């Protein structure tokens, strides 16, 4: 799929007000374009930028960037940061741009959507962008999901990653570990154990499923130590069932045996996490 089709259709469909009346383009000097202050992306692949710069030298910029006036004779870059960076590498002095007055919230949304469409954000940048939109503009997870074309569970799972220790987040940023590999660690309550398992995942190249088994086992062990007055189920079948339920719900689950039957505990760690679990358990609503 071409860049033009991806960007035009994505922004126009998800945030219609962005492209309304925005067909006209102008050549804007690069030295008049300031970086988007709400750009969620912190790192750019230099090799890919050079490849894009070579393409720009050969064919020019096929899709205009989007800029918004600052009111001081310059512009904020709203969409197209890779194109602007590559244009500078290619030695261009200006780029074709659509000029559109855009508010702060929409600038952040556009930057997030553009990067998500290209899968350019690492998991931490993505989670931080979601969290920022929710905190600064009072979006609920459902509203944000509808606004940017994502499912609510995917947003909830993304944001939950930010509760992991900083060293694990650094592994996510560097690409040494994936979100799928570390998500099972969320059921472990001890940060030290989380980091130990993360190191093991990297060292041994464990799959997400293998990480789930280790995390579930550690979760059972810590659960038993904290609730010595109640027997934690150790039956192999129940252990496997507990693991499967934890995998399905994406959170810590604990079985407890009583004299007549037992109980199943489902853990949540924030209001948003509870909302996610309710949506999963009651898909038709309350």
Catalytic residues: 81
Report the candidate in 167, 162, 103 with the shortest Cα–Cα distance to residue 136. 103
CA 239/CA 78 separation, integer angstroms:
50
> Which residue is it, tokens 């006036």?
69
- In the chain, the N- to C-terminal Cα span, in Å, equals 40
CA 142/CA 151 separation, integer angstroms:
8
Give 157-226 as a DSSP string: HHHHGGGS-HHHHHHHHHTSS-HHHHGGGGG---HHHHHHHHHHHHHHT--HHHHHHHHHHHHHHHHHHH
Cross-sheet strand order for the sheet of 231-232 = 231-232, 253-258, 261-266
């Amino acid at each position: 799929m071409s860049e033009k089709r991806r960007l035009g259709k994505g922004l126009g469909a998800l945030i219609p007000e962005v492209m309304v009346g925005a067909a006209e383009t102008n050549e804007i000097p690069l030295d008049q374009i300031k970086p988007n202050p709400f750009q969620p992306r912190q790192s750019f692949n230099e090799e890919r930028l050079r490849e894009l710069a070579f393409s720009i030298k050969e064919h020019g910029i096929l899709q205009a960037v989007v800029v918004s006036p600052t009111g001081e004779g310059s512009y904020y870059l709203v969409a197209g940061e890779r194109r602007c960076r590559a244009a500078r590498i290619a030695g261009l002095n200006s780029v074709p741009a659509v000029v559109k007055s855009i508010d702060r919230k929409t600038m952040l949304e556009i930057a997030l959507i553009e990067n998500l469409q290209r899968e350019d954000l690492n998991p931490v940048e993505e989670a931080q962008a979601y969290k920022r939109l929710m905190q600064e503009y009072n979006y609920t997870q459902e509203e944000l999901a509808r606004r940017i074309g994502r499912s609510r569970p995917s947003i909830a799972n993304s944001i939950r990653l930010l509760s992991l220790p900083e060293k694990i987040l650094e592994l996510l940023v560097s690409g040494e570990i994936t979100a799928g590999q570390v998500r099972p660690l969320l059921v472990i309550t001890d940060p030290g154990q989380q980091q130990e398992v993360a190191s093991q995942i990297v060292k041994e190249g464990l799959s997400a499923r293998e990480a789930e088994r280790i995390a579930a086992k550690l979760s059972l062990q810590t659960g038993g130590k904290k609730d010595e007055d109640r027997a934690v189920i150790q039956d192999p079948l129940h252990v496997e069932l507990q693991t499967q339920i934890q995998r399905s719900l994406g959170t810590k689950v604990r079985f407890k045996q009583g004299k007549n039957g037992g109980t199943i505990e489902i853990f949540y760690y924030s209001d948003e996490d509870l909302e996610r679990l309710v949506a999963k358990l009651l898909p038709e609503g309350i």
